[in-house]
Amino acid sequence: MAIRIRTGLMTALFLGLSTALPLPAAALDDSQKQEFGAFIREYLLANPEIIEEMSQALEIKKEAESQQLAQAAIAKNKDAIFNNPDDIVLGNPEGDVTVVEFFDYNCGFCKRALSDMTSLLEKDPNVRFVLKEFPILGPDSIAAHQVAMSVRKLAPEKYIDFHIQLMSGEARATEALAVEIAKGLGIDEASLKAGMQDPAIGDSIRLTYALADSLGISGTPSFVIGDEAVFGAVGERALMARIANMRECDSTQC
């Protein structure tokens, strides 16, 4: 109601002023432009909350536009997003809802989101969780993800333990640290490093970059659930709500 009152008041004042000012604005002389500009300035200074309302409206508009672009990209790239054989699948491979996470091992928010993933998989036996290696935080991240992808190829059954150890550690994820964790899980270092040289790893990471770009993803963690791209560590509850909606109406927003 308050917004309508302010909008209505401003419209009325503008219309009242416009009867004395010829329109369009290009037809105004300098004094009329100054008078009109002073009126607008005075009104905004007296009602500064309008600026906040405009900013909020702009954010809502941008979010809607981003989701429209993301929905089009999801529809166009479904197989690459949800069914890329280079991605690791956790939880139920035949689950009725798939959650895709774009992550970086050196992302602090991804580390916080790790507990959301593990808790979600424990509570919901019918979720399929796909991890997309998305190293965007420098050379250390790229190297750590290369180790991870080699682990995934050599010993996929050990990947989840590797992933949790590397993601939950406080130290910066580097090639050396990732290799040490893999060795601790019984993976041969020579085979691991040979696997890191596989050109398919670079191809897979480049594909993930391209997908992220098409989806409007520029940070981690980001998720894709059904028809929606979800940006940021939104928390377990928000993810579970979207999963429930997918089951109810085949969309994250029912």
For the ranges 30-34, 123-127, 193-197, 239-243, which has the lowest average pLDDT?
30-34
| Amino acid identity at 52 | E
Share of the chain above pLDDT 90, in %: 72
Burial (Cβ within 10 Å: 0-12, 13-18, ≥19) of residue 19:
exposed
Could you tell me if residue 147 is inside a domain? yes
Asked whether residue 66 falls in the same domain as residue 153, the answer is no
Paired strand residues for 133: 103
pTM of the model: 0.76
DSSP state at residue 73: H
52 CA to centre of own chain: 24
Q: Which of 45, 70, 95 is the last residue of a domain?
A: 70
**For residue 17, pLDDT beyond 70:** no
How many domains does the structure of the chain reveal?
2
- HSE (CB half, 13 Å, CA atoms) of 139? 1
Could you tell me if residue 254 is inside a domain? no
Asked whether residue 124 falls in the same domain as residue 231, the answer is yes
| Contact assessment for residue 125 and residue 243, using Cβ atoms and an 8 Å cutoff | no
Q: Which of 70, 89, 108 is the last residue of a domain?
A: 70
35-89 pLDDT, tens digit per residue, is: 878 888 888 888 888 888 888 877 777 777 777 888 899 999 999 999 999 999 9
Task: Look at residue 19 in the predicted model and tell me its pLDDT.
Answer: 44
How far is it, in rounded angstroms, from Cα 167 to Cα 172?
Answer: 9
Tell me the two tokens of residue 134.
Answer: 């998305």
Q: How confident is the model at residue 32 (pLDDT cuts 50, 70, 90)?
A: confident
Task: Look at residue 12 in the predicted model and tell me its pLDDT.
Answer: 40
Beta strands 127-133 and 97-103, pairing class: parallel
E-strand ranges in 50-205 read 88-91, 97-103, 127-133
DSSP state at residue 186: T
Nearest CA among 143, 144, 158 for reference residue 88: 158
What is the average pLDDT score of the chain?
A: 88
